[in-house]
């Protein structure tokens, strides 16, 4: 008995450790994307998101005033001011006048630049540059410095992404594609699943076998033939090929085999007595389906809705083929892919766009997750 108890405890402990590892693997990158999307652009470049709540140190370059700003004091020509201008919210730790040695002199010391010129750059950004000869030239001396800035968080990245980069429009396009492409397969598959589970007709077993066989057909293999067929039908009826209707039908076709298989397994496991009692009371198949089967099948419907929504929302291939990349049709994943090419170095834009992309699936999953496992496992023991 003690041995069995010890094995049970070890098994539960191992499961908890495995769950913790999987949660950490998923949560840590998501948290990193969220934090990075709220950080200042310069701080993203200077340090990782795990250092976002500490002061960040970065090397920057600035330029002193031109020769026209010099004044003469005690026989020397002087340039004074603050290198930060009106925003001295940083502390300088070191400075230099060469890109190869940007931190050559500690802040507050006086650097001898040669030819009678000296430069003192203080921690608050104030500087004094002196020379025994008048300064010349229209451009001032370039200065490099290492500065530390307090953590800075902003929502400007979201304003830029949603209203300037076109992500807001792509977000609506993705919703326009995803919601109908999730609802339509559920409606069709629910009727088909009930018929295959509780109605007797010739060829029923063969039809079930065909549906199961379609589960193993790779999407990539059927994509081009389906596109040719759709374009042919569209040309015959004079309908444009790159429309929302086309991508709705494509996602419906790709999602139906799994939807019918999953729903049939669940519906076939419903108590036979309920169906027979309803038939004795004079209920038709449609009334049984609407008033009995659908309410009892909500967990499995929610499970498939999660699967289909996540699949369609994150899809790039089908959207690129059946919808295109025009501004009024491009979906969120395609827009994010385009930003990787055009704004690949702007991490604040990419992380903000990525978080906007994942926030809707997160809401959908956590809203329906209590039905998820119940819907997947309810029809796994018995079936018709």
Closest CA to 319 of 336, 301, 341: 336
In a domain, 4, yes or no: no
Over its C-alpha atoms, the chain yields an Rg (Å, rounded) of 33
Structure-block tokens of residue 110: 């006086």
Closest CA to 52 of 158, 160, 154: 154
pLDDT-above-70 percentage for the chain: 92
Whether 227 and 362 share a structural domain: yes
pLDDT of residue 373: 63
In a domain, 203, yes or no: yes
Whether 98 and 44 share a structural domain: no
Whether 134 and 172 share a structural domain: no
Q: Between 19 and 383, name the one with better pLDDT.
A: 19
227-260 pLDDT tens trace: 888 788 778 777 777 788 888 988 998 999 999 9
Whether 30 and 78 share a structural domain: no
In a domain, 277, yes or no: yes
SS3 323: coil
Separation between Cα atoms, residue 23 and residue 25, nearest integer Å = 5
In a domain, 1, yes or no: no
Q: Residue 376 sits in a domain of what CATH number?
A: 1.10.3720.10
pLDDT at 371 over 80: no
Whether 40 and 184 share a structural domain: no
In a domain, 3, yes or no: no
Whether 180 and 97 share a structural domain: no
Whether 176 and 322 share a structural domain: yes
First to last CA, the chain: 40
| 249 touches 323 (CB < 8 A) | no
pLDDT of residue 313: 92
pLDDT at 165 over 80: no
Whether 126 and 265 share a structural domain: no
Give the count of domains, the chain.
3
Whether 189 and 289 share a structural domain: yes
Which residues does 197 contact at the CB level (< 8 Å), separation at least 6?
264, 267, 268, 384
In a domain, 260, yes or no: yes
Mean pLDDT of the chain: 83
pLDDT at 384 over 60: no
Whether 84 and 165 share a structural domain: no
Whether 230 and 94 share a structural domain: no
Q: Which helix (H) or strand (E) holds 217?
A: none
Decide which of 120, 149, 178 is a domain's last residue: 149
Give the confidence band of 175 by pLDDT, cuts at 50, 70, 90: very high
Backbone CA torsion sign across 222, 228, 229, 234: positive
9-45 pLDDT tens trace: 677 878 889 888 988 888 888 888 888 888 887 778 7
Decide which of 110, 128, 149 is a domain's last residue: 149
Whether 89 and 205 share a structural domain: no
Separation between Cα atoms, residue 148 and residue 121, nearest integer Å = 15
Structure-block tokens of residue 195: 């018929």
In a domain, 187, yes or no: yes
285-343 pLDDT tens trace: 888 888 888 888 888 888 888 889 999 998 888 888 888 777 778 888 888 888 776 66
In a domain, 2, yes or no: no
Interval 132-147 mean pLDDT: 86
Decide which of 17, 36, 52 is a domain's last residue: 52
The Cβ of residue 194 has, within 10 Å, a number of other Cβ atoms equal to: 24
Q: Which domain holds residue 320?
A: 158-381
């Amino acid at each position: 008995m003690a041995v069995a108890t010890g094995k049970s405890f070890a098994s539960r402990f191992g499961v908890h450790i495995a769950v913790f590892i999987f949660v950490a693997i998923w949560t840590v990158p998501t948290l990193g994307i969220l934090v990075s999307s709220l950080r200042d652009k310069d701080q993203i470049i200077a340090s990782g998101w795990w250092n976002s709540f500490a002061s960040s140190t970065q090397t920057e370059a600035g330029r002193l005033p031109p020769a026209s700003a010099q004044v003469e004091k005690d026989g020397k020509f002087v340039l004074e001011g603050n290198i930060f201008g009106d925003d001295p919210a940083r502390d300088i730790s070191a400075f230099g006048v060469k890109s190869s040695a940007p931190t050559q002199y500690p802040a507050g010391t006086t650097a001898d630049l040669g030819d009678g010129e000296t430069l003192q750059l203080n921690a608050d950004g104030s500087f004094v540059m002196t020379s025994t000869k008048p300064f010349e030239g229209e451009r001032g001396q370039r200065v490099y410095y290492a500065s530390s800035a307090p953590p800075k968080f902003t929502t400007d990245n979201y304003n830029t992404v949603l209203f300037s980069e076109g992500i807001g429009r792509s977000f609506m396009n993705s919703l326009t594609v995803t919601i109908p492409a999730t609802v339509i397969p559920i409606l069709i598959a629910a009727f088909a699943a009930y018929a295959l589970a509780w109605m007797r007709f010739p060829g029923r077993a063969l039809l079930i076998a065909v549906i199961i066989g379609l589960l193993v057909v790779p999407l990539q293999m059927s994509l081009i033939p389906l596109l040719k067929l759709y374009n042919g039908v569209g040309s015959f009826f004079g309908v444009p090929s790159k429309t929302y209707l086309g991508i709705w039908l494509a996602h419906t076709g790709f999602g139906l085999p799994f939807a019918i298989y999953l729903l049939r397994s669940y519906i076939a496991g419903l108590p036979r007595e309920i169906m027979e009692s309803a038939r004795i009371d004079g209920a038709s198949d449609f009334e049984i389906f609407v008033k009995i089967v659908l309410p009892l099948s909500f967990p499995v419907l929610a499970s498939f809705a999660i699967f289909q929504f996540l699949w369609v929302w994150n899809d790039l291939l089908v959207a690129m083929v059946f919808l295109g990349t025009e501004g009024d049709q491009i979906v969120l994943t395609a827009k994010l892919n385009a930003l990787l090419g055009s704004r690949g170095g702007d991490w604040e834009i990419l992380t903000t766009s990525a978080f906007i992309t994942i926030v809707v699936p997160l809401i959908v999953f956590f809203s329906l997750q209590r039905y998820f496992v119940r819907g997947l496992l309810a029809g796994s023991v018995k079936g018709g």
